[in-house]
Amino acid sequence: MLWYVAIGGALGSVARVSLGGMVQRVTATAFPSGTLVVNVAGCLLIGFLMRYFAEATVAPPSLRALVTAGFCGGFTTFSTFSYETIALLNQGDWRRALLYAGLSTGASLLATVVGIALARPVVLMSQGS
């Protein structure tokens, strides 16, 4: 089971660096938008997957471990979020730091709820209901 988590984590980490870097280059600002987008997307994904896996019996435990603890764990990055918030505070940019922390927390929680809600019809379709 640990190998599945490790493989998923490696894939999630590569996806995080790729997507986060792309978003940061496109936005080209001092605001850490790459990490924000990655964390919100990861919360949406894990909300969806956890709901889907809780209600659908088609996924084996190894797949669940690969995509939740592995991929999502490697994809989202709370440590980077924490560092970037503190860096903004150390630069005296309280406004951006508070905006970033508030958006990251609020949008991530909302994305998790949306992911859970989006999984419901998928679960019902897979069960033939």
Per-residue pLDDT tens for 52-89?
888 877 789 999 999 999 999 999 878 778 888 998 99
Q: How confident is the model at residue 129 (pLDDT cuts 50, 70, 90)?
A: low
Q: Which of 91, 87, 90, 94 is nearest to 35 (CA)?
A: 87
Distances (CA, A) of 100 to 29, 61, 111: 13, 35, 16
User: In three state form, how does the secondary structure of 62-112 look?
Assistant: HHHHHHHHHHHHHHCCHHHHHHHHHHHHHCCCHHHHHHHHHHHHHHHHHHH
User: Does the reported pTM lie above 0.85?
Assistant: no
- Read off the amino acid at residue 31: F
Per-residue pLDDT tens for 7-50?
999 999 999 999 999 999 999 888 999 999 999 999 999 989 88
